Amino acid sequence: MRIGILAYEGCFAAEIFVFSDILRIANRVARQRGSADDPFEVSVIGASNSPVTAAGGFPIGVARWHHGFDLLVVPGFEFVPAEDTDTRLAGWALEVDFLRAAAARRTRIASVCVGAFLLGQAGALDGRRSTTSWLYAAQLGRRHPSTTVCVESLIVRDGHITTTAAFSASLDLATALVREHLGDEVATATARVTLVSENRTSQAPYIVESMVPTVGGPFADEVGRWLVEHLTEPYDLSRLAGEFHVSGRTLLRRFGAEAGRSPLAFLLEARVRAAKHLLAETDVPLGDIPRRIGYRDPGALRRMFLERVGISTAEYRRQFGRSRPRP
């Protein structure tokens, strides 16, 4: 399989070399199991033969790109929210044109982290499901409203376009590629040799809600604050509407227009956020957490948390709790 990793000015070098090194190790594992040739042929490519300067000022030698690859991989870049995204992407016009042509040829393309923004600029995400780092998922969705951003997904493949979550998802992408082409045995052996987890399926456990940019208006903000202040109380649309002197229908319409979701969906997100805080930052017993965030039935919280976060409350505390064992 011929793979081209697209290097460009300001990209993350680690996302290039971690991905390529995992495949290099997979080649060795495959040879130990009888493969006559290296299954993966990896090249680092660019707009010219001149080295590109990665984030941090590190030069990367590249080969001139062409359209003879079975898979193109687009690493992410150092995303600075204060910078104008349009201006930043305009600096990679050549790369975007190359990706647009590759997508038109139906070449398989995969992005790592915010590399998805280059795919979006090239039109490769239009009408598709996608993902990126949870920190920038909302911005990707706003820039490209025709794509469905699956914020909690680690890897999303839609046709010949694959997108992945944040920085370290290059490991997951490489492992998935090994599994797809060389089977479970080689993939598992490669993962164990490199100490790469095979069990990650979601980025939901890693989301820090306080860091996620919020998009709302004054009405939604006021309603949201009221819901958080009354987190432990049962959701009652009539009471909520009465507090703001509007009808239930008007409240749903105005809140939805400003916040992009219903008040109930906001409340559930707030309860998940509160549960994560209690699990990670306090020693409150697991059995006491449900009533502290508005659940009389502990099973309801367990089911909701597992559905939305992807792991159990006990596992979340084990992984992220402040009293977890240290190496």
CATH numbers and ranges of domains, the chain: 2-206 (3.40.50.880), 214-320 (1.10.10.60)
Predicted local distance difference test score (pLDDT) of residue 117: 97
| C-alpha to C-alpha distance for 109 and 283, rounded to whole angstroms | 45
Residue ranges of the chain whose pLDDT lies below 70: 81, 209-215, 323-327
Alpha-helical (H) ranges within the chain are: 13-32, 85-90, 93-104, 116-121, 137-143, 169-194, 218-229, 237-243, 248-259, 263-281, 289-292, 298-309, 313-320
Q: Are 75 and 16 in contact (CB under 8 A)?
A: yes
The tokens describing 140, both together, are 């990707």
Provide the whole-model pTM.
Answer: 0.73
| Cβ contacts of 83-92, under 8 Å, gap ≥ 24 | 85/117, 85/139, 85/143, 89/117, 89/118, 89/121, 91/9, 92/8, 92/9, 92/118, 92/121
Predicted local distance difference test score (pLDDT) of residue 215: 56
Other beta carbons within 10 angstroms of residue 48's beta carbon come to: 11
Which residues, 6+ apart, have CB-to-CB distance to 136 below 8 Å?
79, 114, 117
At 152-168, the pLDDT tens digits run 889 999 999 999 998 99
How distant, in Å, are the alpha carbons of 103, 140, 149, 164 from that of 129? 15, 12, 6, 11
Predicted local distance difference test score (pLDDT) of residue 297: 87
3-state secondary structure of 178: helix
Other beta carbons within 10 angstroms of residue 173's beta carbon come to: 24
